[in-house]
Amino acid sequence: MALGIYLSVPFCRTKCTYCNFASDVFSRGVFRRYVDRVCADVENAGKLAQRLGAILDKDVDSIYLGGGTPTVLDSTDLERLFVSIQKAFRVLSQPEITVECAPGTLTPAVLEAFIRCGVNRVSLGVQSFVDQEAASVGRLHKRATVLADIDQLRQAGISNINIDLIAGLPHQTISSWEMSLADIVNCGAPHASVYMLEIDQGSRLGRELIAGGTRYHAHFVPDEDLIADLYEIACDRLNHAGIQQYEISNFAQPGHESRHNLKYWIRQPYIGFGVDSHSMLLTKHEKEVSRVESSRREAVRFSHSESLEQFVAGDSPQITSVSPTAALEESFFLGLRLNSGVNLLEIGLQHGVTFVDSLSATITDLVTAGLLEREGDIIRLTGRGRLLSNEVFASFIGTPQT
């Protein structure tokens, strides 16, 4: 099974107020040392997998360079990352190679590096096409910048473009949200990701909202009901325009679904490199695992520190063994993110019919509550279920295996 590779670049030009990722503004002096460490980890990935008893397929069909803002690196360092992958792995023909970009960072040198490295998909962190909304959360671009970047990418031969939007930014209204959605449709981007604003302690804006303050335009953030309405409007407008929802937050024209991200949701193997990167590899004993022996491993997950300082200093990954029961739970709460839903018959064949039978009452309750719909052996989230997805997922965690 071909592998997906994720490369984390935690550097930004500025830290957006809503951001709760392990990224920040750092001195350019650390960029080279960081890339050195990532390249060394790529080179030694086989040894790490062997030590963990995991299967590391050398064939790769998706590469995703995320952040942060990877395009703050100079073209030389960008190319070093890709060269390290080509030396350590076999990149299959017609791979999906994605780079996340902040609008306004696509210089001619960066675009030329993209072409040399085979980049064929770009994800633009737009968040809003309305200048006031973008500026209120610390974005440095304007609407005109985004449209110019899209034009540059197409001239360079890269037409597979994703646009990120956030529902719930300060000053956002239904009218301004409709403008951003219209710009996605009109610019012809074949993929869009729509996220609802996360309010937690992980971001400056989230902390201010929790405290009831007014910094970072917190008092202009829409309420939860309006944010839910904005999400539902996005689903309606994008689906109507032929950019079909295929996952809770992701929409695509047919054939433009993110190949890399799908690996996460259908539990295919992937390996991550860099700060706060995560990996999931199957174990060598996967086919020998007894359905009753939860002490055996079906897969192994591992991740690196959120601290740039610790990572560059040579941190060791945090390792979590995935038991058969945990793998079953993942199959539900990851698979239900997809509009195609979960096939109970397939899960029963893979993991045991008795376990699926033990969930019958849970599934019936969720269907009755209007959070799930069932069609034969397929269960999937309803529109309301997507808004309350965390509650649905929690129902499938911690259920004893029969």
Q: What is the pLDDT of residues 36-51, one digit of tens each?
A: 999 999 999 999 999 9
pLDDT band at 401 (very low <50, low <70, confident <90, very high): very low
- Taking the C-alpha atoms of residue 223 and residue 196, their distance in angstroms, rounded to an integer, is 11
pTM for this predicted structure = 0.93
Q: Which CATH number fits domain 3-261: 3.20.20.70, 3.20.20.140, 3.40.50.300, 3.40.640.10?
A: 3.20.20.70
Mean pLDDT over the full length of the chain:
92
Please check whether residue 105 is in contact with residue 13, taking contact to mean a CB–CB distance below 8 angstroms: yes
Query: Residue 323 phi/psi, 5° resolution?
Result: -75, 165
| Max intra-chain CA distance, the chain | 59
- Taking the C-alpha atoms of residue 195 and residue 179, their distance in angstroms, rounded to an integer, is 16
pLDDT band at 328 (very low <50, low <70, confident <90, very high): confident
The model's pLDDT over 71-127, given as tens digits with 9 standing for 90+, comes to 999 999 999 999 999 999 999 999 999 999 999 999 999 999 999 999 999 999 999
Q: Tokens 């295919």 — which residue? A: 268
**E-strand stretches of 102-169:** 121-127, 160-167
Q: In sequence order, what are the residues at sequence separation of 6 or more whose Cβ sits closer than 8 angstroms to the Cβ of residue 26? A: 10, 11, 308
Question: pLDDT value at position 354?
Answer: 75
Q: In sequence order, what are the residues at sequence separation of 6 or more whose Cβ sits closer than 8 angstroms to the Cβ of residue 81? A: 7, 35, 38, 39, 42, 65
What residues does each domain of the chain span?
3-261, 341-402
Cβ-defined contacts of 382-387 (< 8 Å, 24+): 383/232, 383/235, 386/231, 386/248, 387/228, 387/231, 387/232
Please check whether residue 399 is in contact with residue 363, taking contact to mean a CB–CB distance below 8 angstroms: no
The model's pLDDT over 163-180, given as tens digits with 9 standing for 90+, comes to 999 999 999 999 999 999
